[in-house]
Structure 1
Amino acid sequence: MKTAGTQKRQRFLMMLTGAFAIFFTGFPHVWSIYQPYVTEGTGWTQSQGAMCFYLALSAFVFGNILGGRMQNHFGPRKVLFLGGGLLSAGILMSAFSLVSSPLPMYLTYGVMQGLGQGMMYTVILAAAQQWFPDRTGFASGIVVTANGLCGLFMAPFSRQLLEKEGPKVTLLTVGIFMVAAWILSSLFFASPEENRETAKTGMGEAQSRCRQYTSGEMLRTKQFYFLLATMLFGLISYFMISPISQSYQLELGIPAAAAVSSVMIGSVVNALTRLVLPSLADKVGRIVCIKGVLVIAAAAMILLCFSDSYGATVAVILIYGCYGGIMGSFPSLTSSVFGIRHAGENYGFVMLGIVIATFGTPVLTRMINVGENGMRYVFAAGAVFAAAAFVFIEMLRITLNKSDRSDDYGIGNNEKAASAGKK
């Protein structure tokens, strides 16, 4: 009983402090609030300022891959400590990188912050799923919800501090919070792999029921590329509408209050779907839930094509929710297909779809957005890409079912085994 009670306390403290640390991995998504203040003070162009966001997001993905690989050799606790230190140092140093050349900011805010965030993210996400081997959706949902909540809380906080004190003081203040999150997560981090009793029970049993793919093995499967394509095409609709969600509504004559509210409500829906959908998927199946998200995304983009009023506002909120659904569901889906032992590194490779979508969508939008109805063509293309993602997730389901004819959930051997284990 004492062992069980100790494990529960370890798990609770790890999830609590881990969620606090993961909260700050969403910080790059509020860069749009910082950018006007930074460019005004440094003289950078808008494109130079925007590169800080793209570098941070890209480095985050590669940080997941790097952290997952290092975790296999040095252990999760050391990787968490190194990643948190790199993240904290990157933000604190970025406060002193506001100079005429953007290169120092690219290194500190972009590369250092992104890599550090990715390393922390992969370790905490993997540990959370390992603590709940039969409820990986619930565990990963909590983690990615914390990431999604960053924009909701940090945006108004940052805006007020930027107006009063400017970007240097604001970045230093955020950096101090990140140091606190780094220390707390390092102190209370607990991995089931470090606990022999847990390894013999929950996580050990889950791993024994299904094959645990290394990243090299995963990259040689068709299932990986179906997952990658689903994430890539499923996220394009969000990246199409997110940068222009307010301005497009204003162009349609929708009141500014409604346009701003749609983004705020969309952020809340984004966070809720990150938590609710993965937990629901533990019961009804992950592929089923992701298919539903993609259908809604396609419908929302079609609504944007034909709506000239508040229908566009509804569509924006739906797209934000679909983004949260995809980001919340894919960690546990990846673990269901390829196992949880190497979950962090494996998911890092799947997240390459985010990098491709992030850099490719603006180029695609500029190519399609021509003529009087250019944006409607863009939204129509977004619906097509959502449909393409649906096709790829269905192809994933078919290939998994071939290896398990009795699969009731459309996921494959790993999740089938986990579901059977719960019974």
Structure 2
Amino acid sequence: MSTKDLQGTNRSGILIRGLIVLVCAGIINATSVFITPLAAYYGWDPSAIANIGTTMLTFWPIGSLLGGKLLQKLGGKPVVLIGAIVFGTGLITTAMVPIGSPGMLYFTFSFLIGMGNGITYCGTMYCVMGWFPDKKGLATGLCMAFNGGSSAFLAPLCAGITAMSNVKVTLISCGVVAMVVCIICGLGIKSAPVGYVPEGYVPSSSGEGLVSQYESIPISKAWKTKQFWLQLGAMAFFPSFYLIMFSRFSMFMTDKGIDLAYATLGVSIYNIGNVVGRLGLGKLTDNIGYKKVYGVCWALCMVCGACLLTGNSTATILVAYFCLGAGFGSTNSVYPVITTTSFGPIYAGNIYGFALLGYMAMTQIIPRVTAASIEATGTYTIAFVMAFILCTLGVLCGFSIPKLTRKRLDDTANK
């Protein structure tokens, strides 16, 4: 059943195209630069559109779920094209919302961008991973590093275009460029065949072989397993520190009397940690296994929490932001490896999308609990204690995932 490299297929070329697509999709991490300029341009009350960003985070996991399902049914090329068109259309139509209808942003900005970006992200990542069953940690780490790191230059680029012209020009420009680039790259992307084995691959001494050499398990069976629910729990609980801080990076520092320039630096430090962690620890999963890397991620988040809870100096908080970027960011390289290792490559994108529903629920719960506790006490203490507990619960879920026995494709074919 194993299939060697197809004639004319260059998996490195597919990786490069996928990375370019994920760089464009990374603009979702910089969409906050659009919200305040939109309110100012149209003269809207900022509170009227304040929730379009968090609402987009709710639709994004649903888009990822759909992207995984479409990848399974249609293959890599159609998924990238669909995601690019929906995502780009969301950016373009956001620029065209009538001045008297700010509520339409919940469709153009929250729904279209969130859904389209989720489809693009999940479909591209798992399509690329399918070509690297021998280096799945490295492939995932590269995908996540390019996706997460792109906001470091996309955010200031978008802000600069807006300053020189206006936010409508920025949105239309981003939408057109992202759509065209992703479509061009998507035309050269395709899914790996079932049972794919890279040319020249030498099996390890353990004799376990590649994940692609074992049957893949669909969501209809996966959701009945302990592995699925433990992964869902890990993805729901682990990101607690991030969900507390993602909209409060600058606010947290300025509340402590730290100059706004350092607060802006803190966001950059977080992004650096994010890229370094995704790439470095993603690659490390190939060498020491995802559970040990997940433990490193947890340790980094614990250091972050301790610094945030007790530190008042600029240096201490910057250390916290770097550790959060490296610790939380790296989990985005670990989860796809967990999914593929447990359930195989064919349905992994779809299963990953369903597991993201746990994260989606927490994007609504944790920020609200945080806001309520800060308002009631005037401090972050309760929120951070909650994060220590939930993050630890998340890592315990990850550590508890047992190996799922799957039949070899050769054995299945012979029956």
User: Which secondary structure does the structure 2 equivalent of 1:50 belong to?
Assistant: coil
- Find the aligned partners of 2:200 and 2:62 in 1 and give their Cα distance: 32
| Identical-residue share of aligned pairs (%) | 22
Aligned to 1:406: none
C-alpha displacement at 1:11, in angstroms?
Answer: 1.5
Aligned to 2:220: 216
Normalised by the length of structure 1, the TM-score is 0.86
Say whether 1:46 aligns with 2:46: yes
User: Which secondary structure does the structure 1 equivalent of 2:257 belong to?
Assistant: coil
- Find the aligned partners of 1:11 and 1:215 in 2 and give their Cα distance: 27
**CA RMSD of the aligned region, Å?**
2.6
Give the unaligned 5+ runs of structure 2: 202-208, 410-415
C-alpha displacement at 1:50, in angstroms?
Answer: 3.2
Do the aligned partners of 1:28 and 1:56 also contact (CA within 8 Å) in 2? no
1:363 is aligned with what amino acid? R
Aligned to 1:147: 147
Say whether 1:362 aligns with 2:377: no
C-alpha displacement at 1:303, in angstroms?
Answer: 2.1
* 1:20-419 aligned within 5 A: 20-97=20-97, 99-193=99-193, 206-207=210-211, 209-309=213-313, 310-370=315-375, 374-396=379-401, 399-400=402-403
C-alpha displacement at 1:79, in angstroms?
Answer: 2.5
Do the aligned partners of 1:210 and 1:413 also contact (CA within 8 Å) in 2? no
Give the unaligned 5+ runs of structure 1: 401-411, 418-423
Q: Do the aligned partners of residues 174 and 387 (structure 1) sit closer, same or farther apart at CA in structure 2, a change above 3 Å counting?
A: same
- Find the aligned partners of 1:288 and 1:52 in 2 and give their Cα distance: 37
User: Which secondary structure does the structure 1 equivalent of 2:30 belong to?
Assistant: helix
Q: Deviations over 1:267-303 (max 9, x none)?
A: 0110121111111011101011111211221232122
Do the aligned partners of 1:137 and 1:279 also contact (CA within 8 Å) in 2? yes
Q: Larger relative CO (CA 8 A, sep 6+): 1 or 2?
A: 2
Q: Deviations over 1:106-129 (max 9, x none)?
A: 222222222222222222212211
Instruction: Give the number of the structure whose residues are more often helix, by fraction.
Output: 1
4+ runs of 1 displaced by more than 4 Å? 3-7, 196-202, 370-373
Do the aligned partners of 1:55 and 1:110 also contact (CA within 8 Å) in 2? yes
2:181 is aligned with what amino acid? A
- Find the aligned partners of 2:117 and 2:250 in 1 and give their Cα distance: 28
- Find the aligned partners of 2:114 and 2:378 in 1 and give their Cα distance: 37
- Find the aligned partners of 2:232 and 2:330 in 1 and give their Cα distance: 16
Deviating more after overlay: 336-345 vs 23-32: 23-32
User: Which secondary structure does the structure 2 equivalent of 1:108 belong to?
Assistant: helix
Normalised by the length of structure 2, the TM-score is 0.88
User: Which secondary structure does the structure 1 equivalent of 2:100 belong to?
Assistant: coil
Do the aligned partners of 2:304 and 2:324 also contact (CA within 8 Å) in 1? yes
Do the aligned partners of 2:64 and 2:353 also contact (CA within 8 Å) in 1? yes
